[in-house]
Structure 1
Amino acid sequence: MDILKTAFTPPAPVPRTGPVGTLQLIRTIYRNPLELWGEPSYNEPWVSIDWSFAHTIIANDPGLIRHVLVDNAKNYKMAAVRQRILRPILRDGLLTAEGDTWKRSRKAMAPVFTPRHINGFATSMQRATENFAERYDGHSGITDVSRDMTMLTYDILAETLFSGEIAGDPDQFSHEVDRLFETMGRVDPFDLLGAPEWLPRFTQIRGRRALAFFRQIVANTIEMRKARMDKEGDKVPNDFLTLLLRAEGPDGLSRAEIEDNIITFIGAGHETTARALGWTLYLLARAPWERELIEQEIDTFMDQRDMPPPHEWLDALPFTRAAFEEAMRLYPPAPSINREPIEDDQYQDLKLPKGSAVLVMPWTVHRHRLYWDQPDAFIPSRFHPENRGKIDRFQYLPFGAGPRVCIGASFALQEAIIALAVLLHRYRFDMASSVKPWPVQKLTTQPNGGLPMSVIARR
């Protein structure tokens, strides 16, 4: 691949070179799983490890990933450890449901995420971002852009999928999201050791208040919309919330499944895009030559007399999109995809025993030395139109792949490019002093300590 030699290498854990004891393993997985992986994980097509609690296979080879997630997907279920972490939060939401429950939810939501519907959200995405951006007017000092992007994507989610009708205070929401992922979003040592489910998990105990907060938001939101549906009938917005409530019934979704899917999209659906936007702004601040290229692209586009409607921005801003996609390569919002073979399986000479843990990790695949030039460097030109066709479909997995690919991928891409275009046209984001944010896995890839940045008006 013909890429620029000038590149910024952002902070990331250095691959381990030695063995890991059981106690150290559990401590590292609890604190930050991204710090666990050794040199073979970034150099070999696959790695088999016999840990004390599970036989684990790290799948990096694109062909193997396709085999697990697509070609033989019916033989793989969600990994037990992953379910023990996520199900207490999301229960039967789309990310954690399996079998018929998953099929019902996916079918119920599919109409919302068709290209026609997503294009229809674009104007609301632009308006929500412009309203949010006003808080930066006249701003001086430092702001945590990581938290800001959480609030922005919450505003966009509320405006589009819920037509502005999510109960609760957005500022409190941002705080409780951080608390929820800090506690219940981590692997509990009891889960790794396979302790009985009746044993209390310390992480879950600490996160109960935050989870109760989200459950209350969902209950209040549903009651608000149900009351409006009873009063106004077909005049209510035909959005995500209405569609789910109309799918309730014996042959559709139960009320509990509706609540679980709402909390999945409020809690996790916006969080991934927020993290990717924050990392993009950070990386551009550290690579001003890339930022200048994108500012020029955005300024030229936004200053047109007859600017295209916002649903066309994604295709019209290829350099902006490339920077966002490169940020998701380096800091994938969902850094790990966990599967478990239902029956013994084999790919080439690799055996995948029933019940083993199969880890498809965008974190290692996206930084793998067999598949990327300068894998640790921020080089958006990898994703420029003339280069992106050289990237294997199963080498780049920010939204997963196969039957369980993220249903909101197109929504997130459109949202991100509209947000970046509005923000970078009006402001320049610079890092505060010598801050080096450290990536930590808490369901999503988060910057430890946030992203303290200055925001300067460009016009």
Structure 2
Amino acid sequence: MDLAIPPFEPPAPIPRTVPPGRLEVIRTVFRNPLELWGEASYTLPWIDTRFFGRRSLIVNHPGLIRHLLVDNASNYKMQNVRQLVLRPILRDGLLTAEGLVWKRTRKAIAPVFTPRHAKGFATQMYAKSIDFVEESYFGADATGLPRDISVDMAQMTFAILSETLFSGEIAVSEETFSRDTENLLHFMGRIDPMDLMEAPSWVPRVTRIGGGPVMAKFRDIVKNTIDMRRRRVAADPANAPQDFLTLMLALIDTDSGLTEDELQDNILTFIGAGHETTARALAWTLYCVANTPSVREAMEDEIDRVLAEAVDPVDWLESMPHVRAAFEEAMRLYPPAPSINRQAVKADSWTSPEGEVVEIPAGVTVLIMPWTLHRHELLWEEPRLFRPERFLPENRGKIDRFQYLPFGAGPRVCIGATFALQEAVIALGVLMHRYRFDPLPGFRPWPVQRLTVQPIKGMPMRVTPRAAKQAL
């Protein structure tokens, strides 16, 4: 790293030094939960606290996290507040289903996302990334005018997801879908005060009143997509796409137990949420890299070399360690899913290597916060700085499996983790081979937590062709 240029510290809330009062908690959680956490959340291995009279355990110790998410995972169900926020959107989709519904759905979908199968999507990911660069948005004559990269990345990842999992047959345009997703998360993706008080789901949430029409629109998109594919399968089953959508439809006619409503819930989960997390992580990556010239240079050199050697895109994930490291470091600083919320079913306890005992009574809320975990002073050197070298192959062994959780862990680990990593490296390789992304002077995107960590006022950047590039 060039010592003449100071390390880059991306924008993020400063840890609180004074605990907030009840009213301030409500205001902060509604405005931006990332601003709620105090110094203790970034310095202690665990914190026993109370929210609205209910005991909560905030966990940052990798050993305790392993106990909660792996060793005794069956004792921890989805936390009530989380479900009150997500179930109105996703119902019994894979992210929100529990018990037997979750088990049978996960078992049925898993074959599509094995690492071996995910590699089979590389050619489609590459082709859609090329389309994005050459035709859809930037074109060959980029002017350098500011563009909202957060919108561009959402459109790009939606196009990739549509092609890989649905063979391009989703009943909506990419431009309209991007706006609809933003509206959906604005109205439906935040915690309402009634959620904090764990009011029953039938109690109206004033903050979500405006989300009804866009939620209905998403349900219509799903229904029309399913109907369109059913007609195609019925008309010519031999030539119907053998993709995720066809697989899900076939499950209805088997003994999988998947119902028509669960089919729609899972299609909505993958259409609505499947591209959102990767899109946000890509935008934050481009912003952080743009503010770190030495990292950008290393990435560009690596990308140019791999392309000059005509390495198959299926091998880019292994062939571009600097690109992957930058993406993973961006996910450390801006984890797409910033919280993992559980609730103890039965009383439990855990003993640390030092002999300290953590008692976890039944009903206690357990919060594992990748946002604080990934910036924790006991676990990371200079945790607020963007330093991708942490994730280079020679350094990865220093990172405990349970101190870095961009995709979660345990039985409910993100089923699309390999898919997302491969997609991100291919997209960054294509984008950065052709273009330079530069920040606007004086603009610092501010992270807010909805369902994902988003830049509240977008991510405007200048996009210009690189002076020297080789043909893709």
TM-score by length of 2: 0.95
Q: 5 Å matches for 1:347-426?
A: 347-348=350-351, 349-426=357-434
Matches within 5 A, 1:287-366: 287-304=292-309, 307-348=310-351, 349-366=357-374
Instruction: Give yes or no for contact 1:53–1:192 (8 Å, CA) kept in 2.
Output: no
- 2:413 partner letter: V
**Contact 1:3-1:381 at 8 Å conserved across structures:** no
Tell me the CA shift for residue 235 of structure 1: 1.9
**SS of equivalent to 1:55:** strand
Q: Which amino acid aligns with 2:213?
A: R
Q: In the alignment, which of 193, 197, 219 is matched to residue 193 of structure 1?
A: 197
Match of 1:206 in 2: 210
Deviation readout 1:118-137 (Å, 9 max, x if unpaired)? 11110000000000112212
Equivalent of residue 239 in structure 2, options 235, 238, 246 = 235
Question: C-alpha separation between the residues in 1 aligned to 2:291 and 2:2?
Answer: 18
Q: Name the amino acid aligned to 1:302.
A: L
Query: What is the CA–CA distance in structure 1 between the aligned matches of 2:411 and 2:112, rounded to whole Å?
Result: 17
Give the letter aligned to residue 302 of structure 2: E
Work out which of the residue numbers 259, 263, 266 in structure 2 matches 1:258.
263
CA distance in 2 between counterparts of 1:116 and 1:384 reads: 23
Q: What TM-score does the superposition give when structure 1 sets the normalisation length?
A: 0.97
Letter in 1 for 2:208: Q
- How far apart are the structure 2 equivalents of 1:398 and 1:177? 21
DSSP 3-state at the match of 1:454: strand
CA contact (8 A) 1:53 1:193 kept: no
Query: What is the total number of aligned residue pairs between the two structures?
Result: 456
Match of 1:55 in 2: 55
**What's the CA shift for 1:337?**
0.3
The 1-side partners of 2:440 and 2:219 are apart by: 36
AA in 2 matched with 1:105: T
SS in structure 1 opposite 2:125?
helix
> What stretches of structure 1 move > 3 A for 4+ residues in a row?
2-6
Determine whether 1:9 maps to 2:9: yes
1:145-193 Cα offsets, whole Å, 9 max, x none, are 0000000000000010000101111111000111111111000100101
Q: Which moved more, 1:103-112 or 1:246-255?
A: 246-255
The answer to whether the 8 Å contact 2:2/2:294 transfers is: no
Unaligned runs of at least 5 residues, structure 2: 352-356
Q: Are 2:165 and 1:157 equivalent residues in the alignment?
A: no
Letter in 2 for 1:396: Y
Moved more, 4-13 or 323-332: 4-13
- Equivalent residue of 1:280, what SS? helix
> Aligned partner of 1:377: which letter?
L
- Report SS of the residue matched to 2:448: strand
Q: Return 321-330 or 245-254, whichever deviates more.
A: 245-254
Question: Could you tell me how far 1:97 is from its partner in structure 2?
Answer: 0.2
Query: Within 2, Cα distance between the matches of 1:206 and 1:331?
Result: 28
1:91 corresponds in structure 2 to 91
Distance apart, 1:443 and its partner CA: 0.9
Contact 1:430–1:453 (CA under 8 A) maintained in structure 2: yes
Cα deviation for residue 205 of structure 1 reads 1.6
Task: Select the residue among 222, 227, 236 that pairs with 2:226.
Answer: 222
Q: 1:53 to 1:154 in 2, by over 3 A?
A: farther
**Is it true that 1:181 corresponds to 2:189 in the alignment?**
no
Give, as a single letter, the amino acid of the residue that structure 1 aligns with 2:402.
Answer: F
Return the alpha-carbon distance in structure 2 between the equivalents of residues 315 and 195 of structure 1. Answer: 48
Moved more, 197-206 or 426-435: 197-206
| Mapped partners of 2:19, 2:119: distance in 1 | 50
Secondary structure of the 1:29 match is helix
Please say if residues 322 and 392 of structure 2, whose CA atoms lie closer than 8 Å, have aligned partners that are also in contact.
yes
Take 2:418 and 2:367, find their aligned partners in 1: how far apart are those partners? 25
1:127 counterpart = 2:127: yes
CA distance in 2, matches of 1:181, 1:22: 25
Q: Residue in 2 aligned with 1:38?
A: 38
**For the structure 1 residues 3 and 292, does the alpha-carbon distance in structure 2 shift closer, same or farther, using more than 3 Å as the test?**
closer
- Provide, for residues 94-115 of structure 1, a one-character-per-residue CA deviation record: whole Å limited to 9, x for no partner: 0000011001111111111122
- Residue aligned with 1:247, SS: helix
Amino acid at match of 1:205: I
* Distance in 2 of aligned mates of 1:399 and 1:105: 18
Q: Does 1:142 align with 2:146?
A: yes
Separation (CA, whole Å) in 2 of partners of 1:356 and 1:210: 34
| Conservation of the 8 A alpha-carbon contact between 1:326 and 1:383 | yes
For the aligned residues, what is the CA RMSD? 1.4
Residue type of the alignment partner of 1:410: T
Q: Distance in 2 between matches of 1:250 and 1:111?
A: 16
| Aligned residue identity for 1:10 | P
Preserved contact between residue 80 and residue 198 of structure 2 (Cα < 8 Å):
no
* Structure 2: distance between partners of 1:256 and 1:53: 36
Q: Which amino acid aligns with 2:443?
A: V
C-alpha distance after superposition, 1:49-89 (max 9, x if no partner): 12224211110000010010000001000000000000000
| Structure 1 residues 3 and 409, CA gap change in structure 2 (3 angstroms) | farther
Cα–Cα, structure 1 residues 3 and 58, in superposed 2: closer, same or farther, change >3 Å?
Answer: farther
How much has 1:6 moved relative to structure 2? 4.6
Amino acid at match of 1:338: N
Question: What is the alpha-carbon distance in structure 1 between the residues aligned to residue 449 and residue 210 of structure 2?
Answer: 18
Alignment partners' CA distance in 2, 1:354 and 1:71: 17
